[in-house]
Amino acid sequence: MKSVARLVACIVLCYGIAAAGAWSTFPSIPTWYAGLVKPAWTPPNWVFPVVWNILYGLMALSLWLLWDKTAPSPERKRAITLFLAQLVLNALWSPVFFAWHYVWAALAIIVAMIVLVVLTIRTAWPINRWAALLLVPYLLWISYASTLNAGIGIMNPR
């Protein structure tokens, strides 16, 4: 039961961050975001919630593998700490970008997220390769999202 409880906790944590992000994002989609000039590589709006729901599930599984299926060690503690640090930045990005319209601050946050996810993957790799691999799609997506963020900043000067 302990393993199931940990899995549920990881799912609740990750999808709780997703819900908070959606709460700060959705009001701006038809208003502020709709009025922005966007890069040509911007996908349709429906793609974002689909991709993010998959990614949050993979992130929850990664965290669970580190927490429940990896032997306690300083490396495991570091990997979990890095994971949680990037999750905090993940939670900050949506309100900074969508609610407060601070495009350049959001870019700084997402770049820091990329660094922390790379460090998380690097730290997790020797102790739980599946936990590390599950974060690769997330790393690819936020790297792509950072180009959208930067493009929007460049194309919509204040």
pLDDT digits (tens, 9 = 90+) for 130-155: 999 999 999 999 999 999 999 999 99
The CATH number given to whatever domain includes residue 31 is: 1.20.1260.100
pLDDT tens column, 109-130: 999 999 999 999 999 999 999 9
pLDDT of residue 158: 76
Domain span holding position 138: 2-155
Rounded percentage of the chain residues whose pLDDT exceeds 90:
99
- Distance CA(35)–CA(29), nearest Å, equals 9
Q: Report phi then psi at 98, rounded to 5.
A: -85, -45
C-alpha neighbours within 13 Å on the C-beta side of residue 121? 15
Q: How far apart are CA 24 and CA 37, in angstroms?
A: 20
pTM of the model: 0.96
d(Cα 135, Cα 14) in Å, to the nearest integer?
Answer: 13
Q: Give the mean pLDDT of 31-46.
A: 97
Number of domains present in the structure of the chain: 1
